[in-house]
Each structure stands twice: as structure tokens, then as C-alpha cells.
A and B are shown apart, each in its own frame.
Chain A
Amino acid sequence: MSDPAAPGQHRVPGGRLPLVLLAVCLTALVAGGAAGAAAAPDGTRPWVLGVVAVAGAVAVAAFLAVLLTVRRTATAAANAAAEAAALRGQAEYRQAHTAHLADSVLPAVAERLRNGARTEDALAGMPVPEDLPLRRLLHSFAHEVSSATGQRLSAQAERDEAARQARELAEGVDGLLTTVLPGAFARLRGGASAGTTLAGVPRPADERLAALTEFVIREYATSERRSAAARTAGTKALSRVQAAAVAMLADLREMQERHGEEVFGDLLRLDHSTSQIGLLTDRLALLMGGRASRAWNKPIVMESILRGAVGRIAAYQRVRMHCASGTAIAGFAAEGVMHLLAELIDNAANFSPPIDEVNVYVEERTAGLVVTIEDSGLRMSDAAMRRAEKAVSGESTDLAHLQGTRLGLAVVGLLAHKYGISVSYRPSSRGGTGVVVLLPPHLLAQQRAEAPPAAAVPGARAPREVSASGAGSALPAAAPAGTAASAGTAFPSATAAPAAPDPAGTPAPAAGETAHGLPVRPRGRTLARADRARERAADASADLPQRKRPARDAGASFGAFHRSRRPEDPSE
């Protein structure tokens, strides 16, 4: 805008220059004309004067035209400069307004709108720009900000709502994972039905979570029921097989008594096969939560335990037992210990060369009875030993951890866990693998430590007394005497069934004692009473020095309590 003003100003001093030039030119022309007229011949003088006059007129006319043009241009330039100045002022004014608008009005309006004012209220106190575009701009700005604010607020509200829902959902899932489902599964494992479990656990607030919970619980209940049913059916079926095997063993034993040498070997073979079947069925039954096929109500001496264990495996003739201990295992644990040892010895025999022996050592230690099973087979790899250690540790008694056909060690783990037996593997000094089984003292029948010497003497004497008093009729009298004598070593209640191995089927003598003063327990009479009767009889024959009953009284009385309780509680 200032550009057009600049030439206008330059032209102002230039306006006088044409006049000077004109005067100079006119003077030059008049002078030239006069000189020409003077020089011209006389005949042409009028012509020359005329030409000069015309030229002067033309020059004056041209000069005037030029002057006029110059004047007009100067006026236009002045006008333009004034206009430019006005425009500049206006522009500055607008600029100031705009700046004010931008610097104070718009932020203030935006602030009001952000604080929740309506558009009209926000604009109310504000200076309204006179400029229409600015006014429009302000209004549209206010509208935009107001709608943006509204959108922002609603978006914030939505976001908060979504966050709240997500939090609730997360809390619900957490609750489901940490309390609801574990509690529900524990109830289901405890045998509750899906309905009772669902009624008992808190229902998640979220519908989908609730549906999910119900679905999971119902599915779990179904699978739990299925596995329980399978287990029950399996255990029931197995218990029949077990009972059949036990009955067969009893029959075989009876036949071994009845038949002579000619079939004895065959009967022993059958006996051995049946015993192995017993081990297999017991293994399955224990794994499935069932019971062993046999149970003992009397302490079993370690030698019998070892023989009972060894007799159940195929390679029993390769097993050498080194047992000098007279310790007995309490009746409740005897079958479990036997099965455990049988599995371990079987394992040792299976993993050693068929010509090598498996040695079993029994040692008495303060920590309990230590049974060591050593084979001379290949040394187990570290990984295999760790696996075996883990299997026998009894940490995972779940059927889900069974591996293929490796059931034996799982049963060992089960039994070890049940009775608190510790089983550990170590490399054997003989080249193979050694298994150390520690039977803790609570499994040992304490009175047995002294019983064998105490009972051995009357056991040894009885037949002599019989043959002295019975005088000739040796056989019939010796049978009950022998029974009682061996019962003395084993247990006083064992008087039943010397001839017939099926003890339940043998009615015991009705009288409390035999003709020779030896105790007989009638059916239904508790063992404790039988024991008392035996003690009375023993006191009467005071020539036995062992009857002083030394310091094992506490153990003996507890044993009597235990024994008297045993036959009655499995009343099914």
C-alpha cells in the first residue's frame, strides 16, 4: 500500500521541471524562429514566420496537454496515498482487535465454556467485535468449543463407565479364581453335587461370569462323578477278584496240608501264581482308592513280612533276605509294608540281571527299622533315579500323574505317604541301585521286641509237657498245644484255625481254656479279655521268669487297647 505512495511524492518537485523546460523550449523556439526569419530570404519570410508560429502553438498545446496530464496524475497519487493511510490505520485497528480477540476474549470464552457455561452465557459479558467476520468467528468458535466440550464430557463419562465395568469384571474374575472356584472344586471333590455347590458359592454379579461359573462347576461335577463312578466300579470289581484270590490262597494252603509230596510242588506253583495275582490286583485296588485284599490284626514279625513280600513277586528265588531282627510290624501297617516292600523288591529284581541276587537287609536303628534292598543291575541314571524318588515320595497321589504302566512305584508312593515311610534311592556299593526304606517307630509293634524270647520258652516247653501228661496220645494233644505255642510267639489271639486256614469259618472252642490251661478266644470275645485270661494263667504258672513284665507296660497296655479295638471297628 505504501508502494504506490512513493512515486507520487517523488513527482511533486518534478512538477515544476516541465514549466522550466517549456520556458526554455519556447525561448529557444522564438529565438530560432527569429533567427530563421532574419536569415530567410524575404520572399519566404512570411512562410517561415507562419511555420514558426504554428510550431510555437503546437509546442504550447503539447506542453499544456502534458501539464494537464501531470496534474491529474499528481492528484490521483495524493488520493491514493490518503487512501493507503486510511487503510493502514484501519488495518492496525483490526489487528489490535484481532489480537485482543485472540489473546483475551477467545481464551476467556473457551474457559467459560469448559467450565460448563452455555454458549450464550459465555458470550454474554464479552466485548463483541464490530467486525462481522470476527463476530461470526467468535460465535462459531464458541459453538465449536461448546460442542467439543460436550463431546469431551460425554466421552469421559463413557470412559469412566467402561473402566468401572472393566474393574468390576476383573474383580469378579479374581474372586472367581481365588475363592469361588477353588471352594466349589473342593466341595465337589468332597462329594457335593453340582446343585448344592452352586447354591453354596457366592454368585458373581456379572451375568456372563455367573454363567461361566455355573458351566465350569457343572462340567467339573460331571467329570468328578464320572471318575468317581469309574473308580467305584473298578474297586468293587477288583475287590471280588481280591477276595477270590484270598480264598484261593486259603484253599491252596489247606490242600498243601492235606496232600502229600506228589502234588506239593504243583500246589506251590499255583500258590505262587495266585500270590502274584494278588499283588497285581492289590496294586490296582490301592491306586483306585480301594483296599488291600488282606488285613492283619496282629503284629507280624519282620521275617514274615519279608517272606510275604518276596512271595508275591515272580523272581522270589533270587532274593536273599538278611533279617536277624525280631521286630514286628504293627498289624494295621503290616499289609501296607508288605506291599511296599514287594513292589520295591519286584522293581529291583526286574531291573537286574536274571542271574544276580537281590539282597534285602534289615537293621534296627533308633529312627526305626531300616530295610535296604540292593540289586547289582545297571546303575540307574540320575534322571531315572530322580523320577523314581519323585514317584515314591508320595507327593502326587493323584491318578492324573500316572505314567503308563509304571504303577508299582506310584503305589509305593501312596503307601509311603499313608504310613509315613521314607523311601530313598542311592547307588549301591555292589554296582546296582539301593533302595533304603525307613519304617518309623510308630509302625513297629513295640512289645514284639521282647516277646519272642519270652514266648519261645513256653512254646518250646509246651509239647514236652503235653507229651509228658498226654502220655502217648501225642497227635491230638500236640495240635492245640502247638497252636498255642506258636500263638505265643505271634499273638495270643491266633489260636483260631490251626487246621483250617479259613479263620472265619472255624468255630473256636467255647471254653476259655484248653485242657492244658492254654487260652482260647471264643468268637466275639475281645482280645483284651483273652489277653487278661492268658496273663492270669501265666501268673499261676509262676515258674516263668519272664512274667515280671518289665518296663514295656505302657506299650503293652496300649497294644492291648489297640488289639481289642481292631476286630470290632471294621464291622461292615
Chain B
Amino acid sequence: MIRKPVDIGDPHRLYTVTGGRSRGEEAGLDLVTLIVSECRPTEGMQSEHVRILELCAHPTAVVEIAADLRLPITVVKILLGDLLAAGRITARNPRPSAAHGDAPESALLKEVLIGLRNL
């Protein structure tokens, strides 16, 4: 067995990032929830929190944060839950109701589909 000469990943494991938690409080966070930071990072904060706060100076989606931090969505949600509980960030979901209201009725879409097939 050939051993890899070096490791490139991170030395720390995910449970040390979350402090052993595997799921956060249900904060209603979605993949596309937009996060905005409400304060500057402070001294002594966990580095992920610092990164999130810096990243979310402009509204950023949860999935983008996860990609930037190279962390699984679950972990990011736990971290965001911490920040949310401390009031350091605010979360804003896209307007689902408005989007749904503007969308055409499914019956209409079905009719259009049938019409297209009949062409």
C-alpha cells in the first residue's frame, strides 16, 4: 500500500466545528435563505463565524456560504443557527408566497402542455 506523502484536507473534523452537535435548532433555514450579517466579527470568535459574518456583509445564500466554507450544509446550518440565536445575523427567505401567486395555475399549464403535444 502506498501511503500518500501529504494530506491536503483540513486536520480538524466536522464534529469539532459544531462542538459535537449534528443538528441545530430548527431555524427554518433553507438552501436559498439569504443571510445578512448584523455586526462585525469580534475577537475570539470561531473562525467559521468570522468567515460567515464577513461573507454575509452582503446578503448571501446558505448554499453559497456552504460552498465558500467548504462545509456540508448541515454544519453550516448549525453555525448559522448559533449566529442567529446570538442575533449576529438575520435570515431572509425568498418570498415564496409572492412567487407562488405570480405563477400560472397548474391547470392552465396542463392545458398548455396538452396543446403543445397536439401540435
Binding site for B on A (CB under 8 A): 239-240, 243, 246, 249-250, 253, 256-257, 260-261, 264-266, 268, 271-272, 275, 294-298, 300-301, 303-305, 307-308, 310-311, 316-317, 322-324, 331, 334-335, 338, 456, 459-460, 462-464, 467, 474-475, 478-479, 481-483, 485-486, 490, 493-494, 496-498, 501, 503-504, 566-567, 570-572
Asked if A275 meets B72 with Cβ closer than 8 Å, knowing A296-B6, A460-B54, A567-B5, the reply is no
The answer to whether B68 touches A482 (Cβ under 8 A) is: yes
Asked if A503 meets B4 with Cβ closer than 8 Å, knowing A272-B13, A307-B17, the reply is yes
Provide the B8-23 mask, 1 if CB < 8 A to any CB of A, else 0.
1111111111111011
Taking A246-B7, A296-B7, A323-B44 as known contacts, 12 extra A-B pairs with beta carbons closer than 8 A to each other, sorted by chain A number, are: A257-B72, A261-B22, A272-B13, A295-B7, A310-B16, A311-B15, A334-B11, A460-B57, A463-B55, A467-B64, A474-B64, A497-B8
Instruction: Please tell me which one of the listed residues A294, A478, A479 contacts residue B7 in the complex, with CB atoms under 8 A apart.
Output: A294
**How distant is the Cα of A56 from the Cα of B75 in the complex, in angstroms?**
178
Instruction: Please tell me which one of the listed residues B1, B11, B17, B43 contacts residue A240 in the complex, with CB atoms under 8 A apart.
Output: B1
Number of residues in B with C-beta < 8 Å to the partner? 43
Instruction: Please tell me which one of the listed residues A311, A496, A570 contacts residue B12 in the complex, with CB atoms under 8 A apart.
Output: A311
Asked if A300 meets B11 with Cβ closer than 8 Å, knowing A264-B74, A456-B54, the reply is yes
Residues of B within 8 Å of A257, CB to CB, are 72
Residues of A within 8 Å of B16, CB to CB, are 307-308, 310-311, 316
**How distant is the Cα of A86 from the Cα of B46 in the complex, in angstroms?**
137
- Show 11 residue pairs from A and B whose CB-CB distance is below 8 angstroms, ordered by the A residue: A250-B9, A261-B74, A268-B22, A295-B5, A295-B6, A307-B11, A310-B16, A323-B44, A463-B55, A475-B63, A567-B5
**How distant is the Cα of A464 from the Cα of B4 in the complex, in angstroms?**
35
B47 within 8 Å of A (CB atoms): yes
Dominant secondary structure at the A interface: helix
Asked if A264 meets B67 with Cβ closer than 8 Å, knowing A243-B1, A300-B11, A310-B16, the reply is no
Name A312's closest neighbour in chain B (CB-CB).
B13
Name B7's closest neighbour in chain A (CB-CB).
A294
Name A291's closest neighbour in chain B (CB-CB).
B3
The answer to whether A497 touches B72 (Cβ under 8 A) is: no
A-B residue pair count with CB separations less than 8 angstroms:
150
**How distant is the Cα of A185 from the Cα of B83 in the complex, in angstroms?**
63
Asked if A303 meets B13 with Cβ closer than 8 Å, knowing A240-B1, A572-B5, the reply is no
Residues of A within 8 Å of B1, CB to CB, are 239-240, 243
B69 within 8 Å of A (CB atoms): yes
Instruction: Tell me how far the C-beta of A260 lies from the nearest C-beta in chain B, rounded to whole angstroms.
Output: 7
B90 within 8 Å of A (CB atoms): no
Instruction: Please tell me which one of the listed residues A261, A305, A493 contacts residue B11 in the complex, with CB atoms under 8 A apart.
Output: A305
Instruction: Please tell me which one of the listed residues B23, B43, B57, B67 contacts residue A478 in the complex, with CB atoms under 8 A apart.
Output: B67
Name A244's closest neighbour in chain B (CB-CB).
B1
Name A501's closest neighbour in chain B (CB-CB).
B9
Provide the B58-102 mask, 1 if CB < 8 A to any CB of A, else 0.
101101100111101111000000000000000000000000000
**How distant is the Cα of A571 from the Cα of B3 in the complex, in angstroms?**
10
The answer to whether A317 touches B11 (Cβ under 8 A) is: no
Name B14's closest neighbour in chain A (CB-CB).
A256
For chain B residues 9-56, which have a beta carbon within 8 Å of chain A?
9-20, 22-23, 43-44, 46-47, 51, 54-55
B108 within 8 Å of A (CB atoms): no
B107 within 8 Å of A (CB atoms): no
Residues of B within 8 Å of A271, CB to CB, are 13-15
Residues of A within 8 Å of B9, CB to CB, are 250, 253, 497, 501, 503
